[in-house]
Amino acid sequence: MPSVIAGTGHYLPAQRLTNTMLEQRVETSHEWIVERTGIHERRIAKDSENTVTMGVAAARQALQAAHLHADDIDLIIVATTSGDYAFPSVACEIQAQLTTNSTPAFDVGAACAGFIFALSVADQYICAGTYRHILVIGTDVLSRFCNPEDRNTIVLFGDGAGAVVLSAGDEGGILSTHLYSAGEFANLLGVKHASRTSADPLAEAWMFMQGREVFKVAVTKLSELVIETLAAHQLTPAAIDWLVPHQANMRIISATAKKLELPLTQVVTTLAYTGNTSAASVPIALDTAIRDGRIQRGHKLLLEAFGGGFAWGSALIDY
């Protein structure tokens, strides 16, 4: 049985970090940031907010949209790499906030591609008939991993959460998912755990990124991915109503759309006001376009994301 999107939701912190504010912190400018990334501002979690609180808020919206209660959920999968604890998992913490049932819950770590990976896992469970309703959440606070003095990362990342309820349906839904990884590029983008022996435990625990190299690989891999996804279903780009990409960089998004011969009017973007929210970016963009009426039932969607690992993936969906 196919897995269909029954409901979506998202949460963005109220606190904004604009490019103008960043001009006071590091050597940069609003124009420089917009030209290279397309970002104007990003949302930053307050001290009282984290992956759990944001994930719970997004999940409740998705459950409401699906007309389901948390007790109806058979499984919770959370895509994140920025939980407060090594364990317990963020998923278990969210499960405790949503229900008193012993609903199984676990995390998936694939950086910015995490939501696509988690969506694929959920789809397999539903197609196999194991579960009927699955809550898939992407939630990250990567702004806390950015060195405040590193303009290469601090301008890019914001915080947020997005959620989708997948349910067993009769037709449509997720047509296929396509996942890939290339660990040989691990040195180009990542975050080390804080040291347990160093006098300065955070010295090596900031995000590292070789932006130019990441950009080159991302454009190449995503261009190959979207064409492969369509070819698997003997579809042309004209069959796609909406591209819902990972919100990392407007130049990467534009390059992917160009490969698909899609006008930017058919590409969902939230990047300008969210920045890169990692595993949350695709479900935030998806929910935004559903709630404002752009994405309608019957539309064909192509979701794609690329992140540290490297890991990248897509999902073709009849919404």
Average pLDDT, the chain: 94
Residues 135 and 29 in one domain: yes
Is 74 in the same domain as 149?
Answer: yes
- Whether 63 and 46 map to the same domain: the answer is yes
Domain boundary among 171, 192, 222: 171
Range of the domain at 241: 175-318
pLDDT tens track for 181-231? 999 999 988 888 877 766 666 667 888 888 889 989 999 999 899 999 999
Residues 134 and 201 in one domain: no
Backbone angles phi, psi at 306, to 5 degrees: -140, 135
Q: How many CB atoms lie within 10 A of CB 266?
A: 15
* Domain termination site, one of 171, 194, 209: 171
Residues 166 and 179 in one domain: no
Are both 163 and 179 inside the same structural domain? no
- What's the pLDDT score for residue 203? 64
Q: What percent of the chain has pLDDT over 90?
A: 85
| Single residue among 110, 139, 171 that ends a domain in this structure | 171
Whether residue 164 is found in the same domain as residue 188: no
User: What value does the CA radius of gyration of the chain take, rounded to a whole number of Å?
Assistant: 18
pLDDT at 315 over 90: yes
Residues 100 and 292: their CA atoms lie apart, in Å, by 33
Catalytic status, residue 246:
yes
> Of 182, 47, 205, 192, whose CA–CA distance to 110 is shortest?
182
**Domain shared by 86 and 181, yes or no:** no
SS3 call for 160: strand
According to DSSP, the β-strands at 3-11 and 159-168 are: antiparallel
276 is annotated as an active-site residue: yes
The CATH number of the domain holding residue 126 is: 3.40.47.10
Q: What angle do CA 255, 259, 263 make, to 5 degrees?
A: 80
The tokens of 133 are what?
Answer: 């309703």
Q: Could you tell me if 18 and 32 lie in one domain?
A: yes
Number of structural domains the chain divides into: 2
* 123-129 mean pLDDT: 97
Please identify which of the residues 112, 133, 146, 249 carries the catalytic annotation: 112
pLDDT at 202: 65
Q: What is the mean pLDDT of residues 275-297?
A: 98
Q: Tell me the whole-structure pTM to 2 decimals.
A: 0.96
Q: How far apart are CA 9 and CA 19, in angstroms?
A: 27
φ/ψ region of 309 (left if φ > 0, alpha if ψ in -120 to 50, else beta) reads: left
Instruction: Indicate whether 124 and 196 sit together in one domain.
Output: no
Q: DSSP of 164-233, one letter per residue?
A: EEEEE-SS-EEEEEEEEE-GGGGGGEEEPPPPSSSSSTTTT-SEEE-HHHHHHHHHHHHHHHHHHHHHTT
Residue 286 and residue 162 in one domain = no
Q: Please, are residues 230 and 237 in contact by the beta-carbon 8 Å criterion?
A: yes
Dihedral angle sign, alpha carbons of residues 202, 42, 188, 284: positive
Assess whether 198 and 312 both reside in one domain: yes
Arithmetic mean of pLDDT, 150-165: 95
In degrees to the nearest 10, what's the CA dihedral of 23, 26, 32, 36?
-130
In angstroms, rounded to a whole number, what is the distance separating the alpha carbons of residues 225 and 221? 6
